[in-house]
Structure 1
Amino acid sequence: MNAAMIDEISELLLTPEEMTAVDAAATRSGIDSYALMERAGAAIAATLLRHFPAVLRAAVLCGPGNNGGDGYVAARHLAVSGVAVEIFQLGEPARLKGDAARARDSFPTMVRPLESYQPRSGDVVIDAIFGAGLARDVPADVRDAIERVSGAGVPIIAVDLPSGVDGRSGSVRSAAFAANRTVTFMTRKPGHLLMPGRELCGELEVFDIGIPGRIIRAEKKQQIAENGPQRWRDALPSRGLETHKYKRGHLVVFSGEATKTGAARMSAMAGLKAGAGLVTIAAPDDAVDENAAHLTAIMLHPIEDEAALRDWLHDARLHTFVLGPGFGVGEKARRFVAALSERHLVLDADGLSSFKSAPDELFSKFSGKPRLVLTPHEGEFGRLFPDIAADTAMGKIDKARAAAARANAAIVYKGADTVIASPDGRAYINTNAPVWLATAGSGDVLAGIIGALMAQGVPAFEAAAAGVYMHGEAGMRAGEGLTAEDLATQVRPL
């Protein structure tokens, strides 16, 4: 069964454009759009009453569209509940249209201009100015309101997304509220998961306001989702009784010179813990003794140059390789990659940097069924894909997907909001990684995990997505203060 068909609706990710299409389709189907707004406003009011029972005043900041209409409905419900409410409108209230105008008329109270709002102790702000569809910088009067509210430190409930956060990319449009809680409806948007939007949302609640799942699924066109086991579980190897070490794959990790061997060993250990049947470190002659002194379950093979590598590759059981951690930047790395162009490869760190002046040389070698995984952080991504990285109109998902299509590779665009993208357009946002994973050597461990999954026959994109998730789980087990060595020991097969 398609994973999307078994998702809970609240677990789906819809872009703002898709959500607009859902709203339009719901109206065409005969659903009362104002009834949806009523339920949305009631959910907002309920959130305030549940989490901020000591509120002295609800300051409802309303925008010029349907988000503002949600705010008016919330204000009415709060007033009925006995909360003191004041509404502050961006622009003229008389200019509201459709359902938003009807919501305004349903609560005929004095409305003040947004610029007149001055926070005071006991306030809870309902930010109903802009929703997920914001695609421009916020105007000056909204920036000023954001500054006043931020300076006062009063609690904020954001409607759909904090005003100023782009719902597609999670980026900030010149300024944005930092909400304590965010209330959204039916599904989440990418901006709820991508940084810095994820942090600015605070605690996120998704409310079902009554749009049928069939309509939502019909309008979901983009293959964007949160990364998790339901996305790739079926691609993982089975743990049958007939398995043996070669069925579980042979992973090779290349070591750097004698003074730079630790990164490869961390990758190799992670690969072994992630389930590879055999793991070998391929080391230059001057690094053999240094590696041998630290290895037990991991094998060691001397590989000095490209000729030795090509000779070794006559063994067809050598399936998957990790190149980059501690390897060194330069011609040797490029030659090794050329020799490995028919095999499965995770290219990381120095391996990526070796192609910064000639990325097309790398991409041209891996045509056909994707078998290459690239794991760039922000700087490495910019060196391999300078034009994509520089395109300010693209968010992280769009950049990762464009890079994956160009390279014919699975892209792991690393960061606090790692995005994994496939050449076919799929993109997953990872959310399970703790902040303490940002430590030296963490990426080496990730490369080994992904390599181990590929060695066991998992396709490149699924291996990358599962590997990123396993990496996050290992980080949670290791806990704060972890080192890369700690992290490698906490890797577990899924």
Structure 2
Amino acid sequence: MSHITAMEPLFTPAETARIDQAAPAHGATLPALMEHAGRAVADAIHRRYRPCRVLVLAGPGNNGGDGYVAARHLAARGWPVMVAPVGTPRPGSPAADAAAQWRFPLVDATTARVSAADLVIDAIFGAGLARDLAPDCAALLAAARTLVAIDMPSGVDGATGALRGQAARAALTITFVARKPGHLLLPGKAQCGTVLCADIAMPPGAIATITPSVWRNTPALWQLPVLAAAGHKFDRGHLTILAGAMSGAAILAANAARRAGVGLLTLATDTPLTGAAPGIMIRTDPLATLLTDPRRQVWLCGPGLGIDRAGPLLATLIAANRTILADADALTACADHPERLHGVGVITPHEGEFSRVFPDLAGDKLSRARAAATITGAVVVLKGEDTVIAAPDGRAAINDNAPPSLATAGSGDTLSGIIAGLLTQGMPAFEAACAGVWLHGAAAHTHGPGLIAEDLAEALPAVLATLQATRNTT
């Protein structure tokens, strides 16, 4: 588990360009920043690889300029380096100046040259490519045995993670100042390999010209509830989960919510229920009766409930002005009718549920999640390896700690339970959703191989203990 550091904004290529443009006014010239960037690339390669034959594919822009600088620094350390231009820098540009400082011969950019190199540096376009990657460039990159990308693998859209043509898979990507959404969003995420974010001495004043709205989801983004020394269970809230005939889903959510710290938990059901832990209360009263208790402010509706029951029960909860997390069957009950979710606090759809509720929303994952949050007024957790959490006010976070082992039955029910448990303890909806998603991924990593959904709640105490210890030493 990583140390807790500062919040990590994610900047689009357009925002990064604006930061670059602001840098000179804050005391950093573009040639100096390019020198820092190229040196950072050379340093990263030197730390991770033994000296070997390197070919730099240098494009015509600043990405190519970074490549020329990296080549010069590697050559100064005794690495055998060749540079193959893929385009000519604009005369007088920082990239042209960097190219002029390369004192060794240039070679033609051919697939034969690429395949003969031990390591190829992709310095062609980076994150700012506004068109599909040309087939000849794609063929060059595809011929590399080991590929290291500067900023972003050429052909990956830095704003969305979409592939612009055929993008080769890098083993290592070195970016600068801040990661971009495309480093975390599929399919681009899979093309980046290990991503490093290097400090290139960008002035804080230049960075401050951008007000971030998207962040990488890390513990720096939220603060978990702190237990009061004189507190009691009612201070930690009372969560009610609606349970149906498939009660296992509700029980998974309940176990996770309790491990996340909720004080009291009730499973409300109208069918016989077995398998719940002793600390879980079971109530068979009508929903209207349960809603007369003012302590029951937070409700989880959907897991295992059944579509026919979920729709009317969700509508009743909304009318009662409760804090609601809607998942699973409650979402499917709103297929083609997102307006039925108005009044819900958090929704947690996977892609199939999302497409049923929002069939008209198209585009990249980040944009779709944000649009859904605007339409419903709810915090949207659009799940996957690259889960996006989007708030109606425009804030968004992208999560990148989910291992493939989370693709197991009941995992989503556990996630909804964790988030609902944090909501019950008073966390704001966006922060509770972000924290729940991160804790879910961390629990899976903590457990390791052989994960099933039941393991996630049991792994949470170790995650919470490590997180608490990390905060205490930060």
**Whole-angstrom distance in 2 between the partners of 1:126 and 1:58:** 7
How far off is 1:160 after superposition? 0.7
**Whole-angstrom distance in 2 between the partners of 1:283 and 1:387:** 35
Matched, 1:182 2:166: no
- Give the alignment partner of residue 376 of structure 2, picking from 401, 407, 422: 407
Q: Is the 8 A contact 1:114 1:145 kept in 2?
A: yes
- Give the match for residue 95 of structure 2: 100
- Give the alignment partner of residue 423 of structure 2, picking from 426, 442, 454: 454
Deviations 1:288-317 (A, max 9, x none): 2x33x54411010115xxxx2123211111
Deviations 1:170-193 (A, max 9, x none): 222121121111112222212222
Letter in structure 1 aligned against 2:214? I
Matched, 1:221 2:211: yes
Where in structure 2 are the equivalents of 1:291-302 lying within 5 Å? 291=274, 294-302=276-284
- Give the match for residue 148 of structure 1: 143
SS at structure 2 position matched to 1:158 = strand
SS at structure 2 position matched to 1:490 = helix
**Whole-angstrom distance in 1 between the partners of 2:78 and 2:225:** 58
- Give the alignment partner of residue 149 of structure 2, picking from 141, 154, 158: 158
**Whole-angstrom distance in 1 between the partners of 2:327 and 2:214:** 24
**Whole-angstrom distance in 1 between the partners of 2:166 and 2:104:** 29
- Give the alignment partner of residue 352 of structure 2, picking from 375, 379, 382: 379
The Cα RMSD (Å) is: 2.0
Matched, 1:318 2:296: yes
- Give the match for residue 317 of structure 2: 340
**Whole-angstrom distance in 1 between the partners of 2:89 and 2:257:** 63
**Whole-angstrom distance in 1 between the partners of 2:366 and 2:339:** 21
SS at structure 1 position matched to 2:35 = helix
- Give the alignment partner of residue 271 of structure 1, picking from 257, 264, 285: 257
Alpha carbons of 1:61 and 1:117: their partners in 2 closer, same or farther (altered >3 Å)?
farther
Matched, 1:465 2:451: no
- Give the match for residue 472 of structure 2: none
Moved over 6 A (4+): none
**Whole-angstrom distance in 2 between the partners of 1:112 and 1:97:** 22
How far off is 1:95 after superposition? 4.8
Letter in structure 2 aligned against 1:201? C
Deviations 1:176-216 (A, max 9, x none): 12111111222221222222333322222222222112321
Q: Is the 8 A contact 2:447 2:455 kept in 1?
A: yes
Deviations 1:54-94 (A, max 9, x none): 30x21110112110111112222233333322222223x26
Deviations 1:395-423 (A, max 9, x none): 32222111111110011110001111111
**Whole-angstrom distance in 2 between the partners of 1:205 and 1:471:** 24
How far off is 1:122 after superposition? 5.2
Matched, 1:231 2:209: no
- Give the match for residue 79 of structure 1: 75
Alpha carbons of 1:90 and 1:120: their partners in 2 closer, same or farther (altered >3 Å)?
closer
SS at structure 2 position matched to 1:34 = helix
Alpha carbons of 1:219 and 1:344: their partners in 2 closer, same or farther (altered >3 Å)?
same
Aligned length: 458
Letter in structure 2 aligned against 1:90? V
Deviates more, 1:28-37 or 1:442-451: 28-37
Matched, 1:201 2:192: yes
- Give the match for residue 243 of structure 1: 231
Alpha carbons of 1:382 and 1:29: their partners in 2 closer, same or farther (altered >3 Å)?
same
Letter in structure 2 aligned against 1:446? L
SS at structure 2 position matched to 1:59 = strand
Alpha carbons of 1:329 and 1:43: their partners in 2 closer, same or farther (altered >3 Å)?
same
- Give the match for residue 488 of structure 1: 457
- Give the alignment partner of residue 417 of structure 1, picking from 369, 377, 386: 386
**Whole-angstrom distance in 2 between the partners of 1:246 and 1:455:** 10
**Whole-angstrom distance in 2 between the partners of 1:135 and 1:381:** 28
Q: Is the 8 A contact 1:118 1:148 kept in 2?
A: no
- Give the alignment partner of residue 36 of structure 2, picking from 32, 35, 39: 39
- Give the alignment partner of residue 130 of structure 2, picking from 125, 131, 135: 135
Deviates more, 1:180-189 or 1:334-343: 180-189
Q: Is the 8 A contact 1:65 1:96 kept in 2?
A: no
Letter in structure 1 aligned against 2:283? H
**Whole-angstrom distance in 1 between the partners of 2:348 and 2:268:** 20
**Whole-angstrom distance in 2 between the partners of 1:384 and 1:113:** 52
How far off is 1:318 after superposition? 0.8
- Give the alignment partner of residue 9 of structure 2, picking from 4, 9, 12: 12
How far off is 1:271 after superposition? 1.1
Alpha carbons of 1:316 and 1:74: their partners in 2 closer, same or farther (altered >3 Å)?
same
**Whole-angstrom distance in 2 between the partners of 1:69 and 1:419:** 33
Q: Is the 8 A contact 1:254 1:282 kept in 2?
A: yes
**Whole-angstrom distance in 2 between the partners of 1:123 and 1:419:** 37
- Give the match for residue 3 of structure 1: none
Q: Is the 8 A contact 1:18 1:220 kept in 2?
A: yes
Letter in structure 2 aligned against 1:272? R
How far off is 1:15 after superposition? 1.7
Letter in structure 1 aligned against 2:455? D
How far off is 1:355 after superposition? 0.6
How far off is 1:446 after superposition? 0.7
How far off is 1:246 after superposition? 1.6
**Whole-angstrom distance in 2 between the partners of 1:122 and 1:94:** 24
How far off is 1:103 after superposition? 1.4
SS at structure 1 position matched to 2:233 = coil
Letter in structure 2 aligned against 1:378? E
- Give the match for residue 62 of structure 1: 58
- Give the match for residue 359 of structure 1: 338
- Give the match for residue 254 of structure 1: 242
Alpha carbons of 1:117 and 1:100: their partners in 2 closer, same or farther (altered >3 Å)?
farther
- TM-score by length of structure 1 reads 0.88
Alpha carbons of 1:131 and 1:489: their partners in 2 closer, same or farther (altered >3 Å)?
same
Letter in structure 2 aligned against 1:225? W
